[in-house]
Chain A
Amino acid sequence: DTGVSQNPRHKITKRGQNVTFRCDPISEHNRLYWYRQTLGQGPEFLTYFQNEAQLEKSRLLSDRFSAERPKGSFSTLEIQRTEQGDSAMYLCASSTTRVGNNYGYTFGSGTRLTVV
């Protein structure tokens, strides 16, 4: 297992277009998180899943943002009608709640979105 994989690494899109990002977590991790990070700031919570269930989501995901994890493995994050303010790094992380494992979180390298 090579860790958490995010694709694409970079995405440039025109304002108003839809974009979709993918995250492949560590295979034995049952929890998956999406965060957004702008330059010089800490990560901002978007949503997280336990297996295929979306346990919590921020208010951002009630509008143009949506996330899925259909089979409890990889996840996709879609942004519809992108705006310049959506330009940020989108981070994915995974972890496990299973007994006997450490409680560390493994982060992907992120997808950097630029909306022009």
Chain B
Amino acid sequence: GQNIDQPTEMTATEGAIVQINCTYQTSGFNGLFWYQQHAGEAPTFLSYNVLDGLEEKGRFSSFLSRSKGYSYLLLKELQMKDSASYLCFVSSNTGKLIFGQGTTLQVKP
């Protein structure tokens, strides 16, 4: 079957670092995406990994290990506005997107 797992909820403190993990089992792999979604809004692009390793973009970094079926999103210098849901999903070989349940991150002062 196809499955993506990520924690349902996380809490962190403003200014801290938080890591959101995502594990996947899919039939085919054409890249893994992280998107941010604020309540009632459209998901917006954060990162894309198709090769193993770390992709860094400002305060956000994403890591991928294809052999382990594992990715994480690292958020540094947390700000209150980072409170949102973080969606991990895989693009399969057929083009279908397979989502995890999303991680709701709450940043506290």
**Which residues does A use to contact B, with CB under 8 Å?**
4, 31, 33, 35, 40-45, 48, 50, 55-56, 91, 93, 97, 102-110, 112
Contacts and interface: CB of A to CB of B under 8 A. Distances in A.
A32 to B, nearest CB: 11
B96 A56 contact: yes
Given A35-B97, A48-B97, A93-B97, 13 more contacts: A4-B42, A40-B104, A41-B102, A42-B87, A42-B89, A42-B100, A48-B95, A50-B95, A104-B33, A105-B33, A105-B97, A107-B44, A109-B42
A35 B96 CA distance: 11
Contacts of A41: 101-102
Interface in B43-93: 43-45, 48, 50, 87, 89, 91
A107 B95 contact: no
Nearest to A108: B42
Contacts of A56: 94-96
B97 A97 contact: no
A103 B41 CA distance: 21
Contact of A43 (B48, B87, B95): B87
Contact of A55 (B50, B94, B99): B94
Contacts of B99: 35, 42-45
B98 interface: yes
B27 to A, nearest CB: 12
